[in-house]
A and B are shown apart, each in its own frame.
Chain A
Amino acid sequence: MNAPVTPLVESRDVSVHFSRWVGSRRRTVYALDDFSIAVAPGETVGLVGESGCGKSTAGRALLGAVKPTKGQVFFEGRDVTDLNRRNWRAMRKQVQMIFQDPYSALNPKLKVGESIAEPFLVHTRKRGKELEAAVAELLETVGMTASAADKYPHAFSGGQRQRIVIARALALHPSFVVADEATAALDVSIQAQIVNLLVELKDTVGLSYLFISHNLAVVRHVSDRVAIMYLGHLMEIGSHHDIYENPTHPYSQALLSAVPVPDPTTRRSHEPLKGDLPSPMDPPKGCRFNTRCPLAVDQCFHERPPLTERSSGHLVACWVN
């Protein structure tokens, strides 16, 4: 969307390639290619795709946790791609991340309070009673009692740990949070609690999210705009309505129809998408979806389709549709 306001975070043609040893050979993994996205203040952008589509890499690139091979990242209009260490640390206060696995996201040897206090110790002069009060306030913000600070993570369930992880992410009042599969590891009844918490915090704390998920239903529930990725390429991006009511890319259509709807009266008879996901080490030429696309024509195998605007803010990368 070409919003008149300066986007909070923006990436322009960001590519991330890294090399990995496979047996005795060094192979390049094309994790992300020419990825451009903008998140406006107060907006939630959903980023959807299957494994290996580069959505986590994209999130980390926006946070500056992964250096782009090519392209630029802007934060509040400023190029932050090559920040030096001091400036980078200053930006750290503004951007945070919530992780998928709340079990691995908390250090088992630190009390919960110590984990939450870390951002304060690194960035502020808060110590002692003042620090304790700040930690207690954060715990209450995410619906926990202040006494949780004195316990170790093992005393808590997955949902409670995720609340603690969220509390730590909120410590320095960030404006942009990347939630990377933040609810994927949780049971459905707990997933609903965490989704509600994230939505609520968006308004009370004033956050913008990049909401990365493979779960299209959760993304529909939380997002203002949605981007769909496949093997490192952005296939389609548009408003919530564009993507869910008028999906245009054949991949978006296939992905949406593959989700089992929790309603037996809407059993849909559809042909499942054929084939497996190709490896990001050996992506197909042209459109990356061409090996599985039911509509693929000759051009799709030679030339990468550019993202073109179909209606205001609705961009699709497809030669056919």
Chain B
Amino acid sequence: MTAVDDTTTSGADAGAADATSPEGVTVMADLRSHLRKSKAGISGIIICSVFALVAIVGPWLPFLPDPAKQSLPDKLTPPVGWGGTWAHPLGTDQLGRDILARLIDGARISLLVGLAAVVIAAILGTTLGLIAGYVGGRIDTLIISAADVQMAFPGVLAGLILVAAFGPSVWLVIVVIAISSWMVFTRVGRSLVLTLKTSLFVEASELSGAPSSRVMWRHLLPNLVSSLITLCVLELAAAILSESAFAFLGFGVQPPRSSWGLMIQQGRNYITDGWWIVTFAGLAISIVVLGVNLLSLWLQSFNDVAEREQIILERPGG
């Protein structure tokens, strides 16, 4: 019983390599060597780092015009290639402001809001989901009812109330988005925990006297990660778009500052005269979501230990 074609040898090599599996190699080294083999991972990292870099250094880029500077004579200038000039490579909006400059400025707000909201929601939601699923009983009922109430409660309304109380701010938007999406993580986390906690390895850990915190942290959480990463990506896109809704209502970022969502909201009215306003903002959102998606694909494949080892052990080009 042998493999039929001449690639048999690579099978034997994989076996041999497995026997000498690198001992004591740290997770970081694994992560690096795994990344080198993953096209999705590399593309994701590149896209995400370019956007992050631009968002961070944006205000100090020397050649950019002031994103807030209006110039009505230049309003709705098309981008280069469609009759525009290099003065405004991506054209201008209805007030004559430079689209490129506003995109870069908006990246800060959009990425900050998206990331911060998702991180807060994920940490809060997952923790509650873990506790609800693992501890069960009254605590479970309490947490899951809270999630249901939150699910039924419109996020915009919550935003209105908070803005009425504290006045508009970007941080408020982050908090509002986070509290209107934590229950997604709670629900998914809890349902995964409910199946996982009947696993024999959880029972084994409990039988050896491990405290609940250890069972949750060491045994349950690592097995939730790959589902939660997917959820994070979905929620990130949703959060960037939610931010635009808040911006539109005037709760979040205040003009003349911009965000991608705000640009889309405002550009909508000019879509026939200036398609580029919505297009470039929309493109920016799509590319970021794509980048994060690729990144999450790679992280998921890294999280699957069997797949990870297979990829690390594979010889380059093999």
Q: Does B204 contact A (CB under 8 A)?
A: yes
A-B contact pairs, 7 of them (CB 8 A): A97-B203, A97-B204, A97-B207, A105-B200, A107-B222, A115-B201, A150-B23
Q: In the assembled complex, which residues on chain A have CB atoms less than 8 Å from the CB atom of B207?
A: 63, 65, 92, 96-97
Q: Does B209 contact A (CB under 8 A)?
A: yes
Complex contact B21–A65 (CB within 8 A): no
Determine the residue in chain B with the shortest Cβ distance to A155. B18
Selected from B23, B200, B208, B222, the residue in CB contact (under 8 A) with A122 is: B208
Q: In the assembled complex, which residues on chain A have CB atoms less than 8 Å from the CB atom of B209?
A: 88-89, 92-93, 119, 122-123
Near A by CB (< 8 A), chain B positions 234-259 give none
Complex contact B210–A118 (CB within 8 A): yes
The CA of A241 and the CA of B256, in the complex, are separated in Å by 92
Known: A150-B23, A155-B18. A101 touches B200 (CB 8 A): yes
Q: Does A151 contact B (CB under 8 A)?
A: yes
Q: In the assembled complex, which residues on chain B have CB atoms less than 8 Å from the CB atom of A97?
A: 203-204, 207
Q: In the assembled complex, which residues on chain B have CB atoms less than 8 Å from the CB atom of A89?
A: 209
The CA of A79 and the CA of B303, in the complex, are separated in Å by 45
Near A by CB (< 8 A), chain B positions 189-217 give 199-201, 203-211, 214
The CA of A105 and the CA of B222, in the complex, are separated in Å by 15
Near B by CB (< 8 A), chain A positions 153-169 give 154-155, 165, 168
Q: Does B157 contact A (CB under 8 A)?
A: no
Q: In the assembled complex, which residues on chain A have CB atoms less than 8 Å from the CB atom of B18?
A: 155
CB distance from A239 to the nearest CB of B (A): 30
Q: Does B266 contact A (CB under 8 A)?
A: no
Known: A92-B208, A97-B204, A101-B200. A150 touches B24 (CB 8 A): yes
Q: Does B16 contact A (CB under 8 A)?
A: no
Determine the residue in chain B with the shortest Cβ distance to A90. B209
> B-side binding surface: helix, strand, loop or mixed?
helix
Near B by CB (< 8 A), chain A positions 93-143 give 93, 96-97, 99-101, 104-110, 115, 118-119, 122-123
Q: Does B37 contact A (CB under 8 A)?
A: no
Q: In the assembled complex, which residues on chain B have CB atoms less than 8 Å from the CB atom of A96?
A: 207-208
Q: In the assembled complex, which residues on chain B have CB atoms less than 8 Å from the CB atom of A106?
A: 201
The CA of A171 and the CA of B222, in the complex, are separated in Å by 23
Determine the residue in chain B with the shortest Cβ distance to A98. B204
The CA of A172 and the CA of B209, in the complex, are separated in Å by 11
Q: Does B69 contact A (CB under 8 A)?
A: no
Fill in one digit per residue for B6-22: 1 if any A CB lies within 8 Å of its CB, else 0: 00000000000010010
Q: Does A147 contact B (CB under 8 A)?
A: yes
The CA of A155 and the CA of B24, in the complex, are separated in Å by 17
Complex contact B206–A99 (CB within 8 A): no
The CA of A152 and the CA of B308, in the complex, are separated in Å by 11
Complex contact A110–B218 (CB within 8 A): yes
Complex contact B309–A152 (CB within 8 A): yes
Q: In the assembled complex, which residues on chain A have CB atoms less than 8 Å from the CB atom of B24?
A: 150
Determine the residue in chain A with the shortest Cβ distance to B210. A122
9 residue pairs, one from A and one from B, having the closest CB atoms: A92-B209, A109-B222, A105-B200, A152-B305, A154-B306, A107-B201, A119-B208, A89-B209, A104-B200
CB distance from A179 to the nearest CB of B (A): 13
Determine the residue in chain B with the shortest Cβ distance to A119. B208
Q: In the assembled complex, which residues on chain A have CB atoms less than 8 Å from the CB atom of B204?
A: 97, 99, 105, 165, 168
Determine the residue in chain A with the shortest Cβ distance to B224. A109
Complex contact B223–A107 (CB within 8 A): yes
The CA of A137 and the CA of B287, in the complex, are separated in Å by 52
Q: In the assembled complex, which residues on chain A have CB atoms less than 8 Å from the CB atom of B305?
A: 108-109, 152, 154
The CA of A171 and the CA of B209, in the complex, are separated in Å by 13
Q: Does B75 contact A (CB under 8 A)?
A: no
Q: In the assembled complex, which residues on chain A have CB atoms less than 8 Å from the CB atom of B222?
A: 107, 109-110
CB distance from A59 to the nearest CB of B (A): 11
Determine the residue in chain B with the shortest Cβ distance to A168. B204
Complex contact A65–B23 (CB within 8 A): no
CB distance from B203 to the nearest CB of A (A): 7
Determine the residue in chain B with the shortest Cβ distance to A178. B207
Q: In the assembled complex, which residues on chain B have CB atoms less than 8 Å from the CB atom of A107?
A: 199, 201, 205, 218-219, 222-223
